[in-house]
Structure 1
Amino acid sequence: MRFVDALGVLSKSSSYAVSTEHDLDKNLVNVKENLYVDMPIETDVMELLAKIAEKSQSRKVIFLCGSSGDGKSELLLRAKQKYDNPYIKFHLDATHSFEPHDTAIGTLDKLFREFEAGSHSLVIGINIGMLGNYAEEAENLCIREKLKKYLELKENSEDFNFINFEDYPKFEITEDGYKSEFITRLLQKITSPSSELYQLFLKDELEGLNSADQFKFVNYKLLCNEHVQKVLIELLLKIRLFRNQFITARTFLDLIYELIAKKDYLFNNLFCCNENEILEKSIEFDPSRLRTKTIDRFVIGYELDSLPNDFDIFKQKLKTELMIDDLKDSKSYIRLFYILKFLDMGNNYHKKFTDDFAENLLLNYLEIYRHHIYYVSAKSKSALRNFYNKELINAIRGYINKKAPYLKDDQFLISEYDEYKVISHLKLGPDFSAIEKNQSKNGKGFFDVYIRIKDFSDEKGDPTVQFSVDINLYELLSRLRAGYRPNKNDRSVVVMLNEIVNRLFNFANRSNQINFKSVSNEIKFISEDDCIEVEY
């Protein structure tokens, strides 16, 4: 078996992309099985199956839910091999039917009729969309109700258990950084010296580097570098946070196939291909689109063939160590410098661009995220007070007061009548008790903020406005503070911002002080002790 043939197992178009019980080529099956990574979700599935007794009183239905390509079939195939007995029946993919004329819904109805009449437990792999469809169309009304209960409330029934890949996020933001155990381990399976692929690579390397498949060998060797893998994981985190892109086992393996197998270098494939749903998003983060002084000087120098000698020395090192020949344009070099940014090599010419590739927005966002999720009063209070008062509330107030930027910190423009501006007074600040109480490590890529309305005390304390902040909203807030005005491209994020503003307006309209201000006059209405004082 050749290295280039084994690579095909990674492709989504490969017959090995979905696990079945009838794979043919044993060598390719071994390559695929060598790539399998067992994760916490598998442990939970196996533990649940182990608890199912062989008597009918403990019968259960287990739904393994998720998105297409996240590994449901692979996991359930392994579970079936381990628990192959008449007391547990498996249906690996609920989008399939047993007969050509049957529908997927009809097949599920048949499975549940057999379940009701039998003494076995039932294990079903199902896409979350299909689960929603079956909750509406199942012939058994009791089953409909149990499925709807899960979809609406995320609750298991006594005899219906749901395990969802969505509850096992691929990225974890930790107290001191971030990690993706899934992606890291999968990359290790693909590139470690003990892997099937690596052994095949070593066997074919010399011949492959002098063949039409040269790029495949150069790219694979580049991917084996842990510093390049670190850049890839960071980029995938950005794509996950900014574009809400779920990363499944199948899409990730297909991504690796596209990076290695396309007829260009890995760093160009990473930002130029669109035949993979992750790569469609990575194009938006192409570092060659950056406009900085250092990058622009490099581009001009490259076009004029006037770059210093240390660039030529660095190119020689690229050729001897990474087998990368002279590249065709400056964009390719910028992308190369980007993926090598954590790697020391030669005279480190590429390190001149380190600051240009710094992910300041991402790092700042993760820092505030951690202070919410891992709140420690002594450590987090100062950082969060600064974030709420100088960043979050300041940006929202600037957005509300864009037609009256001269207003003071506690003043909000709520409407205009002819020449008069109607101004409300609200004192806002962070609600630290709510933050400490709600440290939800949800792993969904956003955190909840809690703004306390200090002017509206009641027996339960000051009211609090709570909402979620993802990295897109965080970026918009940062840009608003710098004077940015949203446009139609920001529509989805602005909708979120307007919802927050409207909630604040509910309090602003009930403030105990309202001002009517014109160019030459200002009238203050102050409510106190059931009386309204008027000041001119």
Structure 2
Amino acid sequence: MEDCLLSELKKLKESSKEAVENTDSFNSFKQYMHITRKVEKELSTLINKVKESDENHLILVCGSVGDGKSHLLSYLKSKIDYLSDYFYIHNDATESNAPNKTSMDTLSEVLSDYTDEELRRKNPNKSILLAINLGTLNNFLKSKYADKYSCLHNYVSDKNILKPKIEGNSFERDSYFQFVNLSDYQLFSLTSNGPISHFMEGSLDKLTNESIQNPFYQSYINNCKSGCTAAKTCPIKYNYELLMQDKVKQTIIKYIAELILKYKTIISSRAFFNFLYNIIVDSDIDQIADKDNLEKYLEKISSGQYLSALLPNLFFSFGKHSDRFKNISLIDPVTKRSETLDTLTITFFNTTDIYKIFSQYIEKRVINNEPFVLAINNISKEEREIALNTLIRFYTFTPKESTNSLEINDLIYNKYLSNLFYWNNGNIKNLKQLYTEVIDSIYEWNGKSETGTRMININPGRNQLKYTISQSVNIKQFVKNLDKSNQEILDKFLPYMILKFIISGNENAVLSIRIDFPLYQLLMRINEGYRPNKQDKNNYVNFVYLINNILEYSNQKEVLTITEKSGNNSKSFTILFDEDFGYEFKEK
């Protein structure tokens, strides 16, 4: 289907030949799709520093599968004339040079100038640019060649390259090793107002820019807008036009960031382009081989099939077709519950004018489209649920500004975003509520104390209802470890927070807990009255350890309270410690 936008869009697929990188080839399509990222500037700076240096160096270009290491080296090779003269470029550390060699054998040969023995003897013969996955680097440093590369091992360890920690990577003249780590960068950046993404926004603009340099837009003009008999009813054309809207682009960025932060989804640049293809092109249409069959398919498509093939529905249903994106269904707005949504659902299933409800909630320019209107007006009773899902999902992308909210925002997630930004930025002033809420949840984890605040219930060994034992503990935040950066945009950040605490009477013991979004969400629910069950405690065993350590490090002179419950009555007893007279047990 050369005369169709679909053929151009197929270049975005992971299975397309354009997805395969080769340092010796960087065609015009890849040149167009390239987006300059900060890591490119970092690497370019290192390359220039190495060129100016009197010694040769090994530059590790580290990252995960599909995150753009090979693309980056290919692009720089096409742009920097001297690169091949000054550097040996090894673009895939997972391949071997010969059938009888492993990738580790090949890697050791490539790095032979950087063994401990060679570095002691002389300056390496050549500088090397090595694109390497973190897993491969870890395996190499544990392989049979490890003893030869202790200097490299020490460098990787000192720079925390294999650990989830953000490290600076400026040029070090006294070291033979340099690095950039693409894994330090998420697909998005953090701000006090939420996530933004130069890469994702740039990628979306590359698809939709109204420019003669844009092959997608030119195909859209030459085919979809000129003479295609299927254009009027084609969901691909509709989705492409929807993607042109800035509001739609920002919503995509927002939800991708949410998917990454909530469920630790790893989305490489290659996977993101593939995702864009799949939210424009329905899987059924993707299987159609030629334009004639596409036209026949669109002639027979039902209202439900047409609605299902539209971008907001493809976006939230893609998890059915991709294990990587399986959790996207968990942030689907149709799974939310609110009084407003319940009222809308009842109205929707009892009205005779569905389009009127759409016009109350969705921007007119989005739904004022003949195929869309026909699909809504001709929807069958069996497909009405598809129509309702379409309404709710479209509302998240293109809501009518004058419409009252459907109350589908995740307020806990929004708070987490703010706290994550302030913690990574070392903004202590704005973290007071976070530490207060987490400390409150520590006190509430084992149930609310019968005798008041600042006490943690202790499990006496087996479940029983008659006695509650509570330990008095004074927990305080420890924030001296936070480095203040005052950056308005965080390009490098950890997707979780590490909070530290001290206990009154034992201030030398600093206890810490890593809080990602699932744990944060649970702690906020506990503060609202939820009691963690056995499964929660199994899932967050590190938080259980934190509480046990708090009790262990707490001052043994603190008050221990035992509450005995008998029907509606209860008695409380305290165990106190006096330095002169020892322990005292008495009824309160």
TM-score calculated relative to the size of structure 1: 0.85
Distance 1:332 1:97, change over 3 A: farther
For residue 97 of structure 1, what is the aligned residue in structure 2? 96
1:324 to 372, 379, 386: 372
**Distance of aligned partners of 1:145 and 1:119 in 2 relative to their CA distance in 1, 3 Å threshold:** closer
Q: 1:399 to 1:78 in 2, by over 3 A?
A: same
How does 1:116-131 map onto structure 2 within 5 Å? Answer: 119-131=125-137
Asked if structure 2 preserves the Cα contact closer than 8 Å seen for 1:60 and 1:159, the reply is yes
Any idea what SS the aligned residue of 2:145 has? coil
SS at match of 1:70: coil
Greater CA drift, 274-283 or 31-40: 274-283
Q: Report the residue type matching 1:38 in the other structure.
A: T
* 1:33 match: 31
Tell me, yes or no, if structure 1 residue 365 matches structure 2 residue 409. no
Secondary structure at 1:526 match in 2: strand
> Counterparts of 2:316 and 2:69 in 1: how far apart (Å)?
29
Partner of residue 76, structure 1: 73
* In 2: Cα distance, 1:495 partner to 1:439 partner: 34
Distance 1:100 1:212 in 2: 54
* Alpha-carbon spacing, 1:151–1:258, altered in 2? closer, same or farther (3 Å): farther
Report the equivalent of 1:168.
185
Report the counterpart of residue 296 of structure 2 in structure 1: none
Q: Report the counterpart of residue 237 of structure 2 in structure 1.
A: 217
Q: 1:336 to 1:277 in 2, by over 3 A?
A: farther
Letter in 1 for 2:206: K
RMSD: 3.3
Q: Which residue number in structure 2 is paired with residue 272 of structure 1?
A: 317
Question: 1:196: which partner in 2?
Answer: 215
1:513 and 1:524 in contact (8 A); partners too? yes
Q: Post-superposition shift, 1:436?
A: 6.8
Within the candidate set 407, 410, 427, 2:451 is matched to 407
1:51 maps to 49
Inter-partner Cα distance in structure 1 for 2:471 and 2:131: 55
Matching residue's letter, 1:227: K
Query: TM-score, normalized by length of structure 2?
Result: 0.78
SS at match of 1:416: coil
Residue 106 of structure 1 and its aligned partner are, at CA, apart by 1.7
1:432, 1:114 → 2: CA distance? 45
Distance (Å, rounded) in 1 between the aligned partners of 2:572 and 2:530: 29
Deviation at 1:470, TM superposition (A): 1.6
Matching residue of 1:261: 281
Structure 1 residue 422 corresponds to structure 2 residue 472: no
Distance 1:138 1:243 in 2: 36
Structure 1 residue 233 and structure 2 residue 219: aligned? no
- Once the two structures are overlaid, the 10-residue window that deviates more, 68-77 or 132-141, is 132-141
What amino acid is aligned across from residue 21 of structure 2 in structure 1?
S
Matched-pair contact (CA < 8 Å) for 1:64–1:163: yes
Contact 1:7 1:197 in 2 (8 A): yes
The Cα of 1:137 is off from its aligned counterpart by 1.6
Alignment-derived partner of residue 291 in structure 2: none
**Equivalent residue in structure 2 for 1:142, among 125, 137, 148:** 148
Distance 1:356 1:341, change over 3 A: same
Residue number in structure 2 paired with 1:108: 107
Q: 1:152 Cα shift?
A: 6.7
Query: In 2, distance between residues paired with 1:98 and 1:64?
Result: 20
Following TM superposition, by how much is the alpha carbon of 1:212 offset from its aligned partner in structure 2, in angstroms? 10
Counterpart CA distance in 2 for 1:322 and 1:128 is 51
For 2:203 and 2:85, locate their aligned partners in 1 and report how far apart those are by CA, in whole Å.
34
- Superposition deviation, residue 359 in structure 1: 2.7
Identify the range of structure 1 (157-166 vs 414-423) with the bigger mean alpha-carbon deviation: 414-423
Which runs of 5 or more structure 2 residues have no equivalent in the other structure? 162-168, 286-308, 377-382
Aligned pairs for 1:278-289 within 5 A? 278-289=324-335
Instruction: Say whether residues 1:338 and 2:382 are aligned partners.
Output: no
Q: Distance in 2 between matches of 1:307 and 1:297?
A: 16
Offset at 1:197?
A: 1.3
Residue 368 and residue 324 in structure 1: after superposition, are their counterparts in 2 closer, same or farther (change >3 A)? same
Kept in 1: contact 2:456–2:471 (CA 8 A): yes
Identity %: 22
Report the CA distance between 1:229 and its aligned residue.
1.1
**3-state secondary structure, aligned to 1:525:** strand
Report the alpha carbon displacement of residue 11 of structure 1 after superposing the two structures with TM. 0.4
Q: Secondary structure at the match of 1:169?
A: strand
Is the Cα contact below 8 Å between 1:12 and 1:250 reproduced in 2? Answer: yes
The number of residue pairs the alignment matches comes to: 516
Contact 1:89 1:121 (8 Å CA) reproduced: yes
- Letter of the structure 2 residue corresponding to residue 416 of structure 1: P
8 Å CA contact retained: 2:35, 2:202: yes
1:178 deviates by 2.6
Gaps of 5+ in 1: none
Decide whether the 8 Å contact of 1:268 with 1:332 is kept in 2. no
Counterpart CA distance in 2 for 1:39 and 1:145 is 30
Q: Deviations over 1:112-131 (max 9, x none)?
A: 23676972111111111111
- The answer to whether 1:185 aligns with 2:202 is yes
Q: Deviations over 1:5-62 (max 9, x none)?
A: 1111110011111211566xx9xx423321111111111111111122488x511111
The range that moved more, 308-317 or 153-162, is 308-317
SS in structure 2 at match of 1:310: helix
Call closer, same or farther: CA 1:139–1:212 in 2, change over 3 Å.
Answer: farther
Match of 2:165 in 1: none
Does the 8 A contact of 1:231 with 1:339 survive in 2?
A: no
